[in-house]
Amino acid sequence: MNPSQLAALDILTPAQRELVASLRRELQDEEKTDVFRLDMTDVESAQLVKSCRLQQKEMADEAFESPKNVVILDEKGRVILVYKPNYLPDSVLRSTEAAIETLLENVELKLPRDDDRRSDLDRRCLVDKYGDGKFGVLYCSCWMEQGKVDKGPLVCREMSDGATHFSNCCIFVSDMERTKEKLSLLYAAADPVRWRQCVDIFDALRVLRPSARVLTTSKIDPWTSLALVANVPTDVHRDANDARHMLSGIASSGAFPRSWLVVHSGGFKMRIKPEHGILLNTHVLAHFASSEEGETMELEGDGEDEAMGSELDRTGEAEGSKSNRREWIADEVRRAHGQYILSFFNHQSVQDWVRAKVESSERRQTR
């Protein structure tokens, strides 16, 4: 590492620095990691991305899947994607499962309104498949509220739907600590300087906006926002409001026997499995989740459940999947297995606001 990269890691503990160094060596080892370059000078327009939605299945079928770790760089050498299979340990997977289970016991999820990324959703079908309140999108975020830009970053109104709901959201954020820390350390290994910039911006945000403290989980937290996408498909899209040159962290929980995160911009796909870690520049890379037809498995009875569990064991799916299968049956009725995507991200407007405030304060101090 060069001096600036080493300096960026000075807030880590010795054990964390050792892990980051090991991860970085692996990501730079050509026998373990495929490295690609994409010219992202001209980012795909929202209109162009939307026009590709009818071809999503074909895009997923034709996309390249690497058996190794994957790192993708843009035309300037900036990291825009990291895929690390089998990265998250069982203890983290269990804590994530438990956090989602606790959340769904206390919070009814809702479908987002006017969300172009998730169009034509059949609510009745989703109720029959997963149960009422078990599908939708939950945001625990700090961003510029529409029509309130002059007030600066605010904790999103979706969290503030009553004191009990707010408390449950805060508990969920806190329960994500171990998952966020592991993804944060992967980010530190892949791009130490930009990772540290995100950490410092969040640190400054907590001073400037004390309400944002409910969204942080540690002093090395690089992401101000969290989204849980539960049991709803997402069409190919770019997240135009996300940070332009920073990475978002992607994790999952639940059953994903044959699912991929597809990056349309480069024709890549990565298996979605709870143990896999993904970092993605969600601003520049158009992406979507794809599942083969017939993936979601309905439970018909004990015999069917045992047969499916044996099949999962034979195909090498996530360890313990058979013993944990019943945890995802809602309200003790036979439901489809839950599929949950967790996204940790930053908004560009929030980072710009924090930078402007910090620079203004520094100028005043030097006068």
Query: Per-residue pLDDT for 319 more than 50?
Result: no
CA-based nearest residue to 213, from 224, 200, 226, 199: 224
95-128 per-position pLDDT tens digit = 999 999 999 999 999 988 777 787 778 889 999 9
Q: What pLDDT, on a 0 to 100 scale, did the predictor assign at position 315?
A: 36
Q: pLDDT (tens digit, 9 = 90+) per residue, 56-93?
A: 999 999 999 999 999 999 999 999 999 999 999 999 99
pLDDT on residue 29 = 97
β-pairing, 33-37 vs 69-73, is parallel
Q: Is the pLDDT of residue 46 over 90?
A: no
For residue 320, what pLDDT is reported?
38
Range 274-300 average pLDDT: 78
Q: For residue 117, count CB atoms less than 10 angstroms from its CB and return exposed for 0-12, middle for 13-18, buried for 19 or more.
A: middle
Secondary structure E strands in 141-234:
142-143, 154-155, 225-230
The mean per-residue pLDDT over the stretch 354-365 comes to 91
Residue 303 or 174, more confident: 174
What is the percentage of the chain residues whose pLDDT exceeds 90?
Answer: 74
Mean pLDDT value across residues 328-346: 74
| Cα–Cα distance for residue pair 124/103, rounded to 1 Å | 22
The C-alpha atoms of residue 20 and residue 191 are separated, in whole angstroms, by 10
Characterize 35-52 residue by residue with b for buried, 16 or more Cβ atoms within 10 angstroms of its Cβ, and e for exposed. eeebebeebbeeeebbeb
- Residue 303: predicted pLDDT: 34
Is it the case that residue 304 has pLDDT exceeding 80? no
Per the CB < 8 A criterion, the answer to whether 112 and 228 are in contact is no
Pair of tokens at residue 145: 């509220």
Which is it for the CA torsion 321, 97, 255, 91, positive or negative? negative
* Token pair belonging to 255: 């059953």
d(CA 126, CA 156): 26
Alpha-carbon distance values, 199 to 35, 235, 246 (Å): 26, 30, 11
Strand partners, 260: 271, 290
Helices and strands (DSSP H and E) totals, the chain? 12, 13
CA-CA-CA-CA torsion sign (315, 319, 325, 328): negative
In 10 A of CB 135, how many CB atoms? Answer: 25
> Helices 192-208 & 348-366, crossing angle to 10 degrees?
70
Tens of pLDDT, residue by residue over 167-209, are: 999 999 999 999 999 999 999 999 999 999 999 999 999 999 9
Q: Which one, of 67, 68, 49, lies nearest residue 59 by Cα?
A: 49
Position 7 scores a pLDDT of 97
DSSP letters along 71-133, please? EEE-TTS-EEEEEETT-S-HHHHHHHHHHHHHHHHH----PPTT-TTS-S--HHHHHHHH-TT
Q: What is the pLDDT of residue 235?
A: 92
User: Domain locations in the chain?
Assistant: 3-294+342-366, 297-335
Bridge partners of residue 142, in order along the sequence: 155
Closest of 69, 72, 63 to residue 267, by C-alpha:
63
Written as six digits, the tokens of 247 are 């990475």
Does the pLDDT of residue 294 top 90, yes or no? Answer: no
Q: Is the pLDDT of residue 3 over 50?
A: yes
Asked whether the predicted pLDDT for residue 311 surpasses 60, the reply is no
Q: Average pLDDT over the chain, rounded to whole?
A: 88
Mean pLDDT of 155-170: 94
What's residue 293's pLDDT?
A: 53
**Predicted pLDDT at 155:** 95
DSSP 8-state class, residue 10:
T
159-190 per-residue burial string, b: 16 or more CB within 10 A, e: under 16: beeeeebeebbeebbebbbbbbbbbbbbbbbb
Fold classification of 3-294+342-366 is: Double-stranded beta-helix (3.60.130)
User: Is the dihedral angle over the CA atoms 319, 320, 326, 328 positive or is it negative?
Assistant: negative
